[in-house]
Amino acid sequence: MTRLRRSTRAGSLRTAMALAVWAGMIVASTERPADVEPPWDERVSDFSLPKPETSSSSDSRPFLVWSTHYFIPIVSAADPDDPDSYALLNTLGREISPRLKREDWCDGVLQGSIHIRSPTGELRSYAYVDSKGPDQADCDRWLGRLSDNIKLASRRARFKPLASPLDCGGRARPLTPFRTIAVDPDFIRLGSVLYISELSGQRFRLNGRDMTHDGYLIADDYGGAVERNQIDLFTAGEEKSPLPDIVTNTPKMTVSAAIVPADSAEALALKQALSEQCRPQADQSAPLDR
């Protein structure tokens, strides 16, 4: 959730598992005879969905967006004697994590999720919930030109522990590299599938493979620092400038986007393929589309 975003150093167990699932789907697509039409789930996994049909719906009219990107930091607990350290608090105000260095605590707020590595190497995962807690760490030095309201909100961040490495608990679909975007839900409805024509044909690397994007993204995340027509793309690694023609990090450089009709084959295929990764946990997951 771009919650309050900046680039970090990261990689994560959740990302690794997502990439493993993705890699298996990609390998399966390379083993199919060339004259056989690929099934929809493989088109989703190898970023080869066809361009959407032109729609006259008012919801499909193009609008401008600008993009940032995010991923998930892995940190360790702070030194017990560090006076400038802070624990993650839950919605009841209780400490749910070891104390973290201020920079690491702020990193979790900025990125919206964080993994904390124990001395034995075990990862515990947490996700941002809201900014309704007590004032804690001052993160202003890392928030750049973000508004004063966002800077104040960052100090009051509250979190929840994640039971699933793929973070399917509480959502219908996992965060998916180069598919998931965080949005302002007041501007772009959660669950919407977007098509960005300028993204189609852009090259990127995923799981060690050169890929070509088909232009489709899904609005499955949100955060306090994502405002209006900003989209925040979840990426798989710490690329300095993934998709530089799209991820410009400035509202002065925009691209045209359109909402894909929810009943289109492409939108249905994208949602179903990603939802399958959470299907074993369906009984304990709440739908994200709302």
Is residue 266 very low, low, confident or very high in pLDDT (cuts 50, 70, 90)? Answer: very high
Integer angstrom CA distances of residue 165 from 115, 148, 161, 174, 190: 10, 33, 11, 9, 22
Over residues 84-117, the pLDDT tens digits come to 999 999 999 999 999 999 999 998 888 888 889 9
CA–CA dist 34, 104 (Å, integer): 48
- Give me the phi and psi of 191, to 5 degrees please: 95, -10
Is residue 58 very low, low, confident or very high in pLDDT (cuts 50, 70, 90)? Answer: low
Q: Which residues contact 44 (CB under 8 A, 6 or more apart)?
A: 269, 270, 273, 274
- As beta bridge partners, residue 173 has none
Over residues 126-178, the pLDDT tens digits come to 988 899 999 999 999 988 777 888 899 999 999 999 875 455 656 788 889 99
CA–CA dist 154, 158 (Å, integer): 9
pLDDT above 60 (res 242)? yes
C-alpha 249, offset from chain centre: 16
